[in-house]
């Protein structure tokens, strides 16, 4: 499958099949994140794969009641270990962790797995639940597992609305 095919196929999955995730597939998804680019190649991140059923059962509470994080066999949490403002004015933690999760989501799609980018979660509650070191900042959370649904593609704006060519 090409990268563009993965981009076209990827969906936000909010229901997961009651099926365990193979360790090899989890490792491939995590490896995709590890290979993502980061500001000055510092790789100031940690990728947490929450597989413990007791912790996963408590994740919805830290994620604004989103049941899917308790349903999926794995919850991914991408944390920044340091942050700073890049020369362009953007915070490196947000950018770097977002790129890494995007790579993981595309790899998951290629492997027939589902993910869902969660913007609604309490970072302090996630940190406390997972007993994270004080300097680890949860930036992105996503469930990971076999889809229990096949949602249709969501509409996208026409290219003419979002692409500006400066020729």
Q: Look at residue 145 in the predicted model and tell me its pLDDT.
A: 98
CB neighbourhood size of 11 (10 A): 16
> 101 pLDDT exceeds 90?
yes
Compute the Cα dihedral for 125, 131, 137, 143 and give only its sign: negative
Distance CA 141, CA 25 (A): 18
Break the chain into its structural domains and give their ranges.
Answer: 3-146
142-167 tens-digit pLDDT: 999 999 999 999 999 999 999 999 99
Angle between helices 23-34 and 92-110 (to 10 degrees): 140
Whether domain 3-146 has CATH 3.90.1150.200:
no
40-99 tens-digit pLDDT: 999 999 999 999 999 999 999 999 999 999 999 999 999 999 888 989 999 999 999 999
Distance CA 138, CA 120 (A): 12
9-25 tens-digit pLDDT: 999 999 999 999 999 99
Q: How far is CA 59 from CA 31, 41, 86, 121, in A?
A: 23, 31, 32, 9
Distance CA 125, CA 119 (A): 14
Q: Which of helix, strand or coil describes residue 153?
A: coil
pTM for this structure? 0.94
Distance CA 58, CA 126 (A): 9
Q: Look at residue 83 in the predicted model and tell me its pLDDT.
A: 86
Strand partners, 115: 12, 144
Strand partners, 80: 45, 137
Distance CA 96, CA 93 (A): 5
């Amino acid at each position: 499958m090409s990268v563009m095919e993965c981009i076209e196929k990827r969906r936000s999955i909010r229901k997961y099949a009651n099926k365990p995730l193979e360790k090899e597939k989890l490792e491939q998804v995590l490896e995709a994140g590890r290979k993502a680019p980061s500001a000055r190649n510092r790789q100031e991140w940690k990728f947490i794969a929450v597989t413990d059923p007791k912790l996963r059962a408590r994740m919805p509470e830290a994620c604004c009641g989103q049941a899917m994080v308790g349903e999926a066999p794995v919850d991914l949490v991408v944390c920044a270990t340091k942050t700073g403002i890049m020369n362009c004015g953007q915070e490196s933690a947000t950018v770097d962790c977002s790129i890494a999760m995007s790579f993981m989501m595309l790899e998951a799609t290629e492997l027939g797995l589902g993910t869902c980018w969660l913007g609604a979660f309490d970072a302090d509650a996630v940190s406390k639940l997972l007993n994270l070191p004080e300097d680890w900042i949860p930036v992105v959370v996503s469930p990971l597992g076999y889809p229990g649904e096949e949602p249709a593609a969501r509409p996208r704006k026409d290219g003419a609305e979002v692409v500006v060519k400066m020729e």
